[in-house]
Amino acid sequence: MDEKVDGESSRTALFEEHRPHLRAVAYRMLGSISEAEDALQEAWLRYDRTDTAGVDNLGGWLTTVVSRVCLNLLRTRAQRREEPLEPAGPGGEPGPPRIPDPLLRREGVVDPEQEVMLADSVGLALMVVMESLSPAERVAFVLHDLFAVPFEEIAPLIEKTAAATRQLA
């Protein structure tokens, strides 16, 4: 019984080691802290159900899992035409475009998790631009341009060729 508990705690420790990077990936793709946390939770569930003993690069494997979860969330968002709950403009036209959740700091309080997210976050302007990208374009852009993942590794995620993935990014 103790071996199982030790194995579970070491798996948890391995996941937690990668959590800041995975959160940054999810936040950049989704633009929402709460959705990024949901993506991490789903990634944890998938990791917990999978035998990863044969995985050579756990960080890369987890990044792929988080990317796929985010891609699914983005596709669902697009299919459902989910709109933010912002008030309509004058005359009933749609309100302002959705702005990603800001990463906030409290004065005088050092929160290492927030510091990592702030240091790793992209500018608000870039996030607004990313809202205009399709899910596949967003995944290709974030993974390649922000995390230097080769197009050949991104292509299977979005079910495109490497050349088409390069064009999307």
Give the closest residue to 139 by CA, choosing from 66, 43, 44, 48: 66
What's the whole-model pTM score?
A: 0.62
Per-residue confidence (pLDDT) for residue 115, from 0 to 100 = 58
**How many domains, in total, are found in the chain?**
1
What pLDDT score was predicted for residue 61? 94
Amino acid in the structure at residue 12: T
Task: Encode pLDDT of 78-120 as tens digits.
Answer: 776 655 444 445 555 555 555 555 555 555 555 665 655 555 5
Q: Which residues of the chain have pLDDT under 70?
A: 1-7, 80-128
Distance between CA atoms of 164 and 169, rounded to whole angstroms? 9
Whether 59 is in a domain gets the answer yes
Burial of 164 (0-12, 13-18, 19+ CB in 10 A): middle
The pLDDT value given to residue 14: 93
In a domain, 113, yes or no: no
Domain assignment of residue 73, given as a range:
2-82+119-168
Judge whether 24 lies within some domain. yes
Residue 7 lies in a domain: yes
In this structure, is residue 111 part of a structural domain? Answer: no
Task: Tell me if 95 sits within 8 A of 86, measured CB to CB.
Answer: yes
Q: Is residue 87 part of a domain?
A: no
CATH of residue 72: 1.20.140
